[in-house]
Structure 1
Amino acid sequence: MFRKILIISLIITTFSGCSLISKISQKLGITMPIEEQNKLYTQAIKTKDEKYCQKIKNKNTEKNCQYSVVFEQAKERHDPNHCANIFVAPIQGLCRESVITTTPLSTRS
């Protein structure tokens, strides 16, 4: 439970930290509005499909979206090895631990 909260907090703080950068970039015409990014991010999580992440025109948010999708896919498959698709070691470790601790013993291989 703690790890789940930690991962969600990490995503939220990263996402909110990007909001200031996004607002500045948006004013310069570099990126899409935050509302659109949020919709794509939410759709990616719901469908567990990274194609929505690729449409986000903000590299940090796009990467966080991809990590979130991989995490959701790993939880769904009960496969901590799927977390290897996250290339940031601390986040990968949290993903693995969270998947292991939330996977019922009967489904562990």
Structure 2
Amino acid sequence: VMKGAFVVNEDTPLIETLRRIDQGNLQLAIVERDGRIVGTVTDGDVRRALLGGTGLDASVSLVMNRTPITAPVGVSNPAALNLMRKHSIHQLPLVDTEGRVVEVKLIDDLALAQQSDHWV
């Protein structure tokens, strides 16, 4: 999945972040500063924050994961799938040498590819 609507910055309010997550079909938003990834936030992260009393107008920086698991662009599908399973994550941002997110791999897509033996 190529990046697009699901990118936010650290000041983006949770309500707008939820909108982006919803539009992006990833259950994830990428938090960027100067074009580089500084965190990720899932719909579950936002839900837990709201249940904990955080307001929808709070900035995403309060709830984002500041140490997201990423992989370099060009990582093989089997390696990406292994990394996601090891860390129990469903999305894996692929970053270039500058820390810019180029693509996001989804575990469901990779698992389907593995079942049908269409490894790239």
Same fold by TM-score, threshold 0.5 exceeded? no
Going by fraction, where is helix more abundant, 1 or 2?
1
Q: Relative CO higher for 1 or 2, CA cutoff 8 Å, sep ≥ 6? A: 2
Q: TM-score, normalised by structure 2?
A: 0.30
Q: TM-score, normalised by structure 1?
A: 0.31
